[in-house]
Amino acid sequence: MTLPLEVDRRLVEEAVYLEVRRREAAGDLTAARRYHRLREAAYSESDASRRERRFEQAHAALFEDLGLVEPLREAVAAFPVLEAASGCVVFRHVSTPPEEGADWLVPAAGRGRVMVRLRAARLADPAAPGAPLDAWLRHELAHAADLADPAFLFDQGLLGAGGGTPATERVRERLRLVWGISVDARARSAGWESLRPEAAWRAEFDRGYAALEPPLREAAFRSLWAAKRPTYPELVALARRPELGAAAVGGAPGTRCPLCGFVTWDWASVGHALSATLVRRYPGWRPEDGACGRCAEVMTTAASA
């Protein structure tokens, strides 16, 4: 089964218009002649409602014939999880780059749906300078596919409601960064064009995580660029803890806690009292080995009981 695509009328009409103009400027008048012929036929309809319907049908036909819908179909088909979890993919027109993006929406009942906000200019000129259409679509749909996958463990409550303090907004910005790095790493591993080169992601990560000592920052970036998808709680944990440093952690974000054996992005600060408890409970453990936040919480509770 092919996941149905719904492209809103304004996006269809504007993309068709821009594509016709682009081809006309390149010397190809075939599309322009057909475009004007179909529009003139629609104008000849005296009934207003039927005339609007003729315009809509003309633009829809050109949207298909000019190949504008094909990149959308190909990008969606690259993510089987979306077809399994969603009822449709909706492409909605927006006017500016900051408005663009994709989400997976869960209705009160029934299957979810994917919402992609897209500028007509990007669709009509997929090779324009900047992010190519295919790379941009796959990058955004990968975010939606993560959200649609139960194994991603998405929990909106981990970040709370929108807005909030400047500190909360910084966490959201770092989450966008680490999630984007993970998505592009997986795109590269799949043989797709990545949205940005590794060096650009690394430079932004270095700025966002300047508080991490260089060896830990390198290990954290490498763990994200390793193409294995972290869970949403792991991404949030890394976004919340840019202040981690060598004195506070026993391992790099994304490595295993020596106590529970689970991969963690949330290394705890181990003080003297907790260290004494851990040494008694785990012979052979050393303070420099560190402990994940969960183990530290459990051991602290046990010590105070």
The mean pLDDT of 155-174, rounded to a whole number, is: 74
Q: What is the pLDDT, as a whole number, of residue 293? A: 82
Q: What pLDDT does residue 218 have?
A: 87
Note the pLDDT tens digit of each residue in 43-93: 888 899 999 999 999 999 999 999 999 999 999 999 999 988 888 999 999
Residue type, 304: S
Average pLDDT over residues 215-242: 84
pLDDT digits (tens, 9 = 90+) for 177-194: 999 999 999 999 999 988
Q: Mean pLDDT score of the chain, rounded to an integer? A: 85
Predicted local confidence at residue 119, as pLDDT: 94
**pLDDT surpassing 50 at residue 301:** yes
DSSP bridge partners of 91: 7, 116
pLDDT in tens, 272-295: 567 777 878 888 777 667 788 888
Q: In Å, what is the CA distance from 89 to each residue of 26, 79, 80, 224?
A: 32, 12, 13, 28
The pLDDT value recorded for residue 249 is: 43
Distance CA(104)–CA(114), nearest Å, equals: 5
Give residue 163's pLDDT band: very low, low, confident or very high (50, 70, 90): low
Q: Please, which pLDDT band fits residue 214 given cuts at 50, 70 and 90?
A: confident
Among candidate residues 175, 289, 161, the one with its CA nearest the CA of residue 238: 175
